Structure 1
Amino acid sequence: MQVSVVPQYPLALGDDELFNADEYDPTRAYGTDRTGFAAVHERFAADGHNIHTMDVLSPTEADAVIFVDMDFDVLDRLLDLSPSRRPAFVYLMREPPSVRWYNSAAELPRFATVFDAVVTWNGRLADAHGFYEYNIPQYLEINKGDLPSFDDRTLLTNVSSRKYSKHPDELYSERERIARFYDEYHSEKFTLHGRYWNDPPRKEDIYHHMKLRPHTYRTYGGVVDDKIAVYGHHRFALAFENMTGIEGYLTEKLFDCLRARTVPVYWGANDVERYVPREAFVDYRKFGTPERLHAFLDSMDAEMHRAYLEAASAFLKSGTDPVGPSQYAETLYTATKEAQESEWSAPSASLREEIRARGLLKRLESRPKSLSKMECVAGLLGAVRKYPAMVRERPSAVLESLKCVL
């Protein structure tokens, strides 16, 4: 079996870069997932199958194609193939709906009709629609370096990029709410790191979110190369997922804190205690406001803090590994094998037309030179006429199409 993987982020391409897990580096594309992808590569190879990223093995030459979140351009082109040439389609849901709208409980089942198999961390979706369920793989090696004493640690840090979302359950704004509280009232007890915090607003932030003059932080310490080292110099670290109100969505944000031997202040997956014992983290849901959280954190003594760290260490050393790469690899392998054996049915005419329009907009954004001027004009006018809201979502597609014509 020849398997081609279509990642959402182009930086994961290049000589099977996606499967390179020689070191844990969360700054790389899918850097936190690479132990899982390396295990996937090993699992397929163990049974004599080849799996490569799409730049090494073209999706049109594959027996099966794994989409890591949606690429409407590639999907549109593959749907144009004759049934005898069409590979099996596997959809791997990675990002939450606050980041990728099509991964919502309302949208994913609609697009799932195009795929032979869907693999998701959302257990409710898996149970309701017959999808495969997996746990996001994590790197669990404990940092063994020397750390400052309790008294020498700063109280709290946040290491994340400044982002925005219109999703009602997003947590970007909650991170910023806490950061602003500490910046204004307890700046000596807080540090802020990550991209975009004190930068001028990006074009997409202005267009989609009207962020013309975002707050500037005096506690901002810039981008860091090693957040594990930063965490180790703080008693606590914010570990807020991109959104809440869902099950199964646990990312490196929580586990990096545990590994770094700092206590995470967590908010995200509703079922977090299914994976990590409650004694190992501070549950922000119990407080609800920055003021109440601060009162709790600032009053904690060294003994109680040590109890949290010991609970985290015991969990990491326990051998109980619900987020290990092996289960991830086995689930994706099984889904891909069974997808090849399933009977595929073509999408409805309306869904096929929508995918075609979204594929065109993706091409206009990412590779407009692949289209003629006539295709740019006709495609954009057709999308504006039939899907005006879709076009408003992608202003860069409009800009690139105008460049193509002019």
Structure 2
Amino acid sequence: MDIQADRQGVRNSYLLLMETPQIIPENGVIKNFSGYRRVFTWNDDLVDGEKFIKINFPNFIKLAPSGGFSDRDRFCVLIASNKSLAIRDSRDLYVERVKAIRWFEKNAPHDFDLYGAGWNLPKSTVGLLGKANRHIWNKLGKIHKVVFFPSYKGRIDSKCQVLSRAKFSICYENVRDLPGYITEKIFDCFISGCVPVYWGASNINEYIPADCFIDRRAFESMEDLYRFLKAMTEGEFVGYQQRISNFLASDAAYPFSSEFFAETIVSSIVRDLERAE
């Protein structure tokens, strides 16, 4: 839902605050929340258990396959849209995605595939100039095809179809170091048995065991990361898969489920209605 100008100040309204302020700047203006009875958000800096209620991005939780390298003919993939933040921010991970893509295209093109929308155009950049540039190239591309990202394999109907064939996935959130900002991206990898290279929430280890994913922050360079991935044995890979399955089967994963998402919203509203009687 996020901030909507026509709903601000409407008494007894509830706000589902899911997008980051770097995408929707209005979501970062505290005074915008004053007109809402309660705000459901992932943002740990806001959560107080009263007005601001903790909620995570919902996921269909199922146990991950643990078949090792079998049937995984893709080494590493990245699935995301070619977009940009609405405002400039030093924590921008759209930029880091492009850096990872370019590194693979230059140094290990045979080990990397790119999927998602918009990679037939130049990399998206912040501001009106960036939008104008993409609009022009979108028109020109219909006349003369230009390859901007050689690793690009096109759009996909299902992330799982690709991730279930990949050993690893570059799994970056849109913005880094936002406490509690854990989207569906890492869970898409988990339920597909793909080991994610994760970069995002500063407190990810408070929610997901550190041995279930590869922390991009632990590597000084893409080259160091690549060497680590290439050196991983099938036994070590299966270990990740088994730990992921254990996590998904545990109570710790439940707050990220669709059921918990619905229960949190419904129970909060019902309690408010009961108190009003």
Q: 2:49 and 2:62 mapped to 1: Cα distance?
A: 35
- Secondary structure of 1:116's counterpart equals strand
Tell which deviates more after alignment, 294-303 or 235-244: 294-303
Superposition pairs of residues 7-86 of structure 1, within 5 angstroms? 68-72=1-5, 74-75=6-7
Q: Is it true that 1:126 corresponds to 2:58 in the alignment? A: no
Partner of 2:247: 315
Equivalent runs, 1:206-217 vs 2, <5 Å: 207=128, 209=130, 212=133, 216-217=148-149
Task: From 120, 140, 144, give the equivalent of 1:198.
Answer: 120
Structure 1 CA distance for aligned equivalents of residues 174 and 266 of structure 2:
28
Bigger radius of gyration: 1
More deviation, 132-141/181-190: 132-141
Aligned to 1:332: 265
| Contact map agreement 2:193 2:241 (CA 8 A) in 1 | yes
Which letter maps to 2:245? S
SS at match of 2:47: helix
Matched with 1:110 is 31
Following TM superposition, by how much is the alpha carbon of 1:259 offset from its aligned partner in structure 2, in angstroms? 0.6
Cα deviation for residue 206 of structure 1 reads: 6.7
The structure-2 alpha-carbon separation of the partners of 1:147 and 1:221, relative to structure 1 and needing over 3 Å to count, comes to farther
SS of 2:7's partner is helix
For the 8 Å contact 1:89–1:339, the answer to whether it is kept is no
TM-score (norm 1): 0.58
Q: Distance in 1 between matches of 2:152 and 2:32?
A: 41
How far apart are residue 201 of structure 1 and its match?
Answer: 7.2
Unaligned stretches of 5+ in structure 2? Answer: 138-146
In structure 1, give the amino acid aligned to 2:204.
V
Q: Which residue type is aligned with residue 102 of structure 2?
A: R
Q: Alpha carbons of 1:317 and 1:336: their partners in 2 closer, same or farther (altered >3 Å)?
A: closer
User: Where in structure 2 are the equivalents of 1:227-376 lying within 5 Å?
Assistant: 227-320=159-252, 321-337=254-270
Cα pair distance change 1:211/1:261, threshold 3 Å: farther
Q: Which has the higher helix share?
A: 1
Whether contact under 8 Å (2:105, 2:151) holds in the other structure is: yes
1:18 aligns with none
* CA–CA separation in structure 1 for the residues paired with 2:191 and 2:231: 24
Give the 3 Å change call, closer, same or farther, for CA 303–216 of structure 1 in structure 2: same
Partner of residue 82 from structure 2, selected from 162, 165, 168: 162
Q: What is the percent sequence identity of the aligned residues? A: 28
Once residues 100 and 225 of structure 1 are traced to their aligned partners in structure 2, the CA distance between those partners, rounded to angstroms, is 26
Deviations 1:18-63 (A, max 9, x none): xxxxxxxxxxxxxxxxxxxxxxxxxxxxxxxxxxxxxxxxxxxxxx
Identify the range of structure 1 (121-130 vs 160-169) with the bigger mean alpha-carbon deviation.
121-130
How far the C-alpha of 1:284 sits from its partner, in A, is 0.4
Is the Cα–Cα contact under 8 Å of residues 66 and 242 in structure 2 kept in the other structure? Answer: no
> What's the Cα RMSD here?
2.9
Tell me: CA distance 1:127–1:145, structure 2 relative to 1, closer, same or farther (3 Å): closer
Aligned partners of 1:131 and 1:318: how far apart in 2? 26
1:322 Cα deviation after fit: 2.6
For 2:64 and 2:232, locate their aligned partners in 1 and report how far apart those are by CA, in whole Å: 23
CA distance in structure 1 between the partners assigned to 2:131 and 2:159 by the alignment: 30
After TM superposition, the runs of 4+ consecutive aligned structure 1 residues lying more than 4 A away are 143-148, 337-343
Amino acid at match of 2:152: Y
Specify which structure has the bigger relative contact order, considering alpha-carbon pairs within 8 angstroms and separated by 6 or more residues: 2
Q: Which AA in structure 2 matches 1:121?
A: W
The one-letter amino acid paired with 1:173 is V
Residue number in structure 1 paired with 2:14: 90
Separation in 1, partners of 2:131, 2:3 = 26
Query: Which residue is 1:174 aligned to?
Result: 96
Residue in structure 2 matched with residue 189 of structure 1 by the alignment: 111
Would the alpha carbon gap of residues 178 and 196 (structure 1) be closer, same or farther in structure 2, given more than 3 Å must change? same
* Code of the aligned partner of 2:240: Y
Three-state SS of the structure 2 residue aligned to 1:126 is: coil
Q: Secondary structure at the match of 1:238?
A: strand
User: Counterpart of 1:270 in 2: which secondary structure?
Assistant: coil
Cα contact 1:201–1:212 (8 A) shared by 2: no
